Structure 1
Amino acid sequence: MLEPGVRLVDERRRYRAEVRSDGTLALAGRQGSIHRIGAEVQGKSACNGWTFWHFEAEGKLRPIDVLRQQARKELGLSRGEPVVLLAAE
């Protein structure tokens, strides 16, 4: 799970965004979904935020998609069902 305040980065560590309590990201005065903020910082119209944004674990960067897949498995969800990765406050 991602706690509010956790910093996510892209694979090259060019961009750092903060996870907000509502599940959106904040970066340089902007806020939005993992997909929208990822697209904006790259100057693109779309972005797969699950693979663009990474968290650090055990000294390594890992895409947040790892957390989504883990949550799906633990919750017994199918691939198409949405997963919330934000811990309740």
Structure 2
Amino acid sequence: MDEIFAITDEISVFRDGTWVGSKNTTEFTRQSLITQMVGRELTQLFPKFNNTIGEEVLTVRNLTRQGVFHDVSFSVRRGEILAWPGWWAPGAAR
């Protein structure tokens, strides 16, 4: 977002493929630009969710795939999100 303000003289906003408007960059604040982009005022950029973590719904122990991973163990509880970051995109390891 900082780069937008640093390198532009004018900003045009499109939302869902429709032109919302254009203004000189100096007429926007960070908040007003975000409001134009999402169509409503955001009171929190990263709102906290009250998510109750429940009982264990999945348990994996000692998972191995030769040459890829070895002895991986984890459990997931209701309400949790599990992610494995890394080079798992199709073809990334080739």
TM normalised by structure 1 equals 0.25
Which structure shows the bigger proportion of residues in helix conformation? Answer: 1
More strand by share: 2
TM-score, normalised on structure 2?
Answer: 0.24
